[in-house]
Amino acid sequence: MSRNYSPLSYHLGEALLSLIYTTNASLYQRTNLIALILSDVEAMLAWSDKDKSTIESIKGRVEVLRDSYEPILDDYEGVIEKRIAYEKKLDITRTELIKVIESNNLVSASMLKEIQGTKWGKDSQ
């Protein structure tokens, strides 16, 4: 069965792939990508009550991440324990967000392949 995807699906797919390809980026950049993905998901599911409490929980997690981020976490090896704790919170938040995306089929595999081929593939024209 064919599904009509939201125009935001493509944008969401780009953000998801960007998150995958920037796993070694700064915590600041990855936190911003998670926030961007969350805003897409929230907009795409605004009509549904099914995941409202989960999305609110994820929003709370993102807010905590943003409030607890310090630039030193990205720049100084002396705070590695704090960085690891932050990374763990980021991982949990990302996983919860991916579960919502998957359970609502917000992005198709073919769409991700298309984005990967055009944006992240070899020398695109």
Q: Is 93 a member of any domain?
A: yes
Q: How many domains does the chain have?
A: 1
Q: What angle do CA 85, 90, 94 make, to 5 degrees?
A: 150
pTM of this structure: 0.86
The values of phi and psi at residue 94, to 5°, are -60, -45
Give the structural domain span for 43. 8-119
Residue by residue, pLDDT tens for the chain (125 residues) are 346 677 788 899 999 999 998 989 999 999 999 999 999 999 999 988 999 999 999 999 999 999 999 999 999 989 999 999 999 999 999 999 999 999 999 998 888 888 777 765 654 44
Q: Is 1 a member of any domain?
A: no
Residue 34 contacts residue 94 (beta carbons within 8 Å): yes
